[in-house]
Homo-oligomer: A and B are copies of this chain.
Amino acid sequence: MADPDETPPRETLFEAPPMAEQERMVEAILFATAEPVTVAELAGRMPHGCEPAQALEHLRRRYEGRGVGVVRVGDAWAIRTAPDLGFLMRKETVETRKLSRAAIETLAIVAYHQPVTRAEIEEIRGVSVSRGTVDQLLEMEWIRFGRRRMSPGRPVTFVVTETFLDHFGLESARDLPGLKELRSAGLLDNRPPPGTPAPGDEDDDGEQAALFEDE
């Protein structure tokens, strides 16, 4: 590869094409080649006496601020989309999918029992909570980390977010229907949990309220 700076003004046997023409050539080659092209390859493809490095530099400058630009890729050069226009190369499609049962249950427990630790969620659900489920809810910004629990190990707690409240049209998590309402809506069985006194319903609400106060 000839370094243009080192090349003295030459008297070549063959007249090299004018620089503007060389620039056109580099442009066409960079455009049509499937891979980035090195200066040596350019030289090999252009007529004798051409100075691809210099032509390349002209071209690079010409494309400055354009929708595409001449960029260096390792030892080679290529024409690429301007970084700020990358959004044009994406076709966004939004797909709405129902949250999985595990995620809904986890979310419900966080909403009703917040702040709640992972261990507590698992205890209530009776099954372990996968990392993916919690991550998904965190990513959706429906739950977030709350204060650490002042208990051994200082476990992190989860609480619901404003985004969650927005989505469900709730002013606060306290607006969530209580067990009583769930029951009267037929969502909970009329049977009281064994060993739990029936008025425990109110206890639950009280407990929930207390937890919210804690927030």
Contact = CB atoms under 8 A, between A and B. Distances in A.
A39 interface: no
Contacts of A127: none
Contact of A31 (B45, B46, B81, B91): B81
Nearest to A86: B28
Contacts of A187: none
15 contacts: A24-B65, A24-B67, A24-B85, A26-B67, A28-B67, A28-B81, A28-B89, A31-B67, A32-B89, A32-B92, A33-B91, A33-B92, A34-B92, A45-B88, A46-B88
As for how many copies of this chain the complex holds, the number is 2
Contact of A85 (B28, B33, B81, B91): B28
A27 interface: yes
Contact of A82 (B24, B46, B66, B67): B24
A23 interface: yes
A85 B23 CA distance: 11
